[in-house]
Amino acid sequence: MKNLFSQKILIIDFGSQYTQLIARRVRELGVFSEIQAWDAKTNTTDITLIKGVILSGGPESVTEGLSAPKIPDFVFSLNVPILGICYGMQAIAQHFGGEVQSSDKREFGYAKVKKEHDSLLLNELSDNVDNSTEEILDVWMSHGDKVVRAPNDFKCIASTDSCLIAGFESKNKRIFGLQFHPEVTHTKQGFFILRSFVTLICDCSKLWTPAAIIDDQIRRVQSLVGKKKVLLGLSGGVDSSVVAALLNRAIGDQLICVFVDNGLLRKNEGDHVMQMFAKNLGINVIRVNAQKEFLEGLSGIAEPEQKRKIIGKKFIEVFERESSKLGDVEFLAQGTIYPDVIESAGAETGKAHVIKSHHNVGGLPDEMRLELVEPLKELFKDEVRTIGLKLGLSREIVFRHPFPGPGLGVRILGEVTEEYADILREADAVFIEELQATGWYEKTSQAFAVFLPVKSVGVVGDGRRYEWVIGLRAVETIDFMTARSAPLPHDFLEKVSNRIINEIPKVSRVTYDISSKPPATIEWE
């Protein structure tokens, strides 16, 4: 019987910043995709289900001899179609005896590609026709090296003035290469090019749909858990919320959620979570009021990493204490998603670079000896959101901006006090309310207020005010690894600033943070 995992496209990652995007595009076509590093030590994927392979781009050069990343041997023995993108294409060329020329000069940005010959991959696709009636595709290029001689048996299917072989294919071998990036939206026909590869050439059908993902997970959770109890640390963030809704569907009352109010949450957050999950969805939620405990633990501590560690440790203490009261729980549910899995695989090969200890508060110690239930671990964030909506969660929960585990603890610079947290909560609520009212909330990836523990003079009415400073931060980003500050209109910022200073007597000044990441980071600590 066919199920959503009975076919997949394997993506071999050569380190491109677009690799995850390739995987997401394939899934948008209704086909399961998996990413594996080119040098993965163990082959974790079931190769019998692979219907096609895509080789990603990457920052290296195939001309660097032995040190250059290679296409793993097993890929060729699968006998399935292969599509190489950018570095992937160059690696194919080199493997089959073609020639790749190295260059320090990068071609980066839009390009017009002329189609050469009929091709299975580019078939009927074109964006326009030039003066000599040749079909043109508008594409996105980002490369230094290029293929200058195609291997025997490969014919050129696309070219630009500066890159004579911008695409090639071998019908016999069912191997294809593109120098440009079909996975990015700047390549107008990119989605259709990938669709030709996945559905026409690899013969995959549309099995990966939100309804099928939910049904499959419900079945898997039910057979794993049986009649036993499952514990979930509910934070109110998107991932743990979707896990709660999914497990509620799968096992109902056997799910017990613990929601820890640590005093570092946004305004009314605890009440919202209880309203949504306990009242509306009828889920078992235990609310633990631990504000005092957290604030006492943080008293006198100003150093960001130390604060993160204290908050993480306290969270575990509170969580363990509550769960031990419950008795016979055997499973722990977690909102791990696919990018976390990919990142930890990267961390094992030593490729990840740690700037902050993103101590995911909620990470629990091994001694708890609970078996893990991770129903989202094959899903990307956008897929998590789609199934969240399908499970009946509100758009407000599903599309809310990410909130760091240590919460306001890393948005109050230096020492955390209850007074500072209260001021920040009010200021943040004004900012978010205005962003939502103007449609800017959905246009930014993350936005929040920061409490700066410096005093500044102001004049409100006839009186002098000597009070605290609030910083506003709003960013646009795709992956949270790089970000730029959102171009919020000046009059909008002025309105938010006036509201904050007028409505919160303990604030005398508001600033807007325009730093990009890098060199700054998104959070201030």
- Rounded CA separation 2/207 (Å): 8
Question: Minimum distance from CB of 401 to ligand XMP (Å)?
Answer: 8
**Cα Rg, the chain, nearest whole Å:** 26
446 binds ligand XMP (CB under 6 A): yes
Assess whether 86 carries a catalytic annotation: yes
Residue 308 in contact with residue 347, Cβ under 8 Å?
A: no
Question: Minimum distance from CB of 523 to ligand XMP (Å)?
Answer: 3
Question: Minimum distance from CB of 365 to ligand XMP (Å)?
Answer: 17
Question: Minimum distance from CB of 516 to ligand XMP (Å)?
Answer: 11
Stretch that binds ligand XMP, among 4-12, 132-140, 327-335, 516-524 (CB under 6 A): 516-524
List beta partners, residue 456: 467
- Rounded CA separation 334/331 (Å): 10
308 binds ligand XMP (CB under 6 A): yes
Q: Is the Cβ of residue 238 or residue 245 nearer to ligand XMP in the bound state?
A: 238
List beta partners, residue 521: none
Residue 45 in contact with residue 142, Cβ under 8 Å?
A: no
Question: Minimum distance from CB of 237 to ligand XMP (Å)?
Answer: 8
Neighbours of 81 (CB within 10 A): 23
Site string for ligand XMP, 311-350 (x = CB under 6 A): ----------------------------------------
Among 359, 377, 381, 495, binds ligand XMP (CB under 6 A): 359
Query: Which residue among the candidates 34, 169, 183, 322 is catalytic per the annotation?
Result: 183
Question: Minimum distance from CB of 355 to ligand XMP (Å)?
Answer: 6
Q: Nearest Cα to 364, choosing from 487, 493, 232? A: 232
Residue 353 in contact with residue 359, Cβ under 8 Å?
A: no
By CB under 6 A, what part of segment 388-407 binds ligand XMP?
402, 404-406
- Rounded CA separation 1/159 (Å): 43
Assess whether 183 carries a catalytic annotation: yes
Which single residue is written with the structure tokens 């909130």? 403
360 binds ligand XMP (CB under 6 A): yes
Q: What are phi and psi of 173, to 5 degrees?
A: -85, -15
Q: What are phi and psi of 8, to 5 degrees?
A: -155, 155
* Residue 461, CA distances (Å) to 211, 238, 494, 507 in order: 58, 42, 18, 14
521 binds ligand XMP (CB under 6 A): yes
523 binds ligand XMP (CB under 6 A): yes
Q: Is the Cβ of residue 298 or residue 522 nearer to ligand XMP in the bound state?
A: 522
Encoded amino acid at 339, one letter: P
304 binds ligand XMP (CB under 6 A): no
Q: Is the Cβ of residue 190 or residue 335 nearer to ligand XMP in the bound state?
A: 335
Burial (CB count within 10 angstroms: exposed 0-12, middle 13-18, buried 19+), residue 155: middle
Task: Tell me how many residues contact ligand XMP (CB under 6 A).
Answer: 16
By CB under 6 A, what part of segment 475-494 binds ligand XMP?
480
Q: Is the Cβ of residue 360 or residue 511 nearer to ligand XMP in the bound state?
A: 360
Assess whether 117 carries a catalytic annotation: no
Gap between the terminal Cα atoms of the chain: 51
| Catalytic residue list | 86, 181, 183
Residues that bind ligand XMP (CB under 6 A): 308, 355-356, 358-360, 402, 404-406, 446, 480, 517, 521-523
